Structure 1
Amino acid sequence: MNITAQNTFTPAVLIQSGDIFDVSISGTFVATVTVQRSKDAVTWLDVDTFTAAAEKTGVSGSAWYFRIGVKTGAFTSGTVVAEIY
């Protein structure tokens, strides 16, 4: 998903307990990109932040929804290409 504005997030993805998932952040941007998780897809907790391209792999300890995006006030310019799978 291309992110070009603040307060924009990928759709939530449910990662089951023990599942391996990948986070991909690329593009040319000036922004702070935040990975968040939630038990109910309503209340979100910050997991990690990035200010440059990154590729990460994780394992979910229990079932969580995850999403990637740019919070309000954290976007200056460019395009963030964010994927979680």
Structure 2
Amino acid sequence: MNITAQNTFTTPVLVQAGNSFDISISGTFVASVVLQRSKDQVTWMDVETNTAPVEKTGSAGSAWYFRLGIKTGGYTSGTVAADIFD
């Protein structure tokens, strides 16, 4: 998903307990890209913030929804290509 504005997030992905997931952040941008998790898809908690392109693998200790995006105030310019895969 290409992100070019603040308060924009990928579609949440449900990662079951013990499973891993991959995140991909690429593009040319000035922004803070946040990985968030939630149990109910209503209340989201920040896990980490990236300000540069990155490829990472994470894991879930219990079932969580994860998403990537830019919160209000976190976008300056450019295009972020953000993807999360389970």
Question: Structure 1 length as normaliser, TM-score?
Answer: 0.98
Can you list the C-alpha shifts for 1:37-82, whole angstroms capped at 9, x where unaligned?
Answer: 0000110000000000011101110000000000000100000000
Cα distance in 2, alignment partners of residues 19 and 49 from structure 1: 21
CA distance in 2, matches of 1:80, 1:44: 20
Sequence identity percentage: 71
Alpha-carbon distance between aligned partners in 2 of 1:32 and 1:58, rounded to the nearest angstrom: 19
Q: How does 1:1-85 map to 2 (within 5 A)?
A: 1-85=1-85
- CA–CA distance in structure 2, aligned partners of residues 66 and 77 of structure 1: 24
Alignment RMSD, CA only?
0.4
Give unpaired runs (5+ residues) of structure 2: none
The list of structure 1 runs, each at least 4 consecutive aligned residues, that deviate by more than 4 angstroms after superposition, is none
State the number of aligned residues: 85
Q: Following the alignment from structure 1 to structure 2, what is the Cα–Cα distance between the partners of residues 13 and 26? A: 19
Secondary structure of the residue aligned to 2:21 is: strand
Deviation sequence 1:17-54 (CA, Å, 0-9, x none) = 01111011000000000000000011000000000001
**How far has the Cα of 1:4 moved from its partner?**
0.2
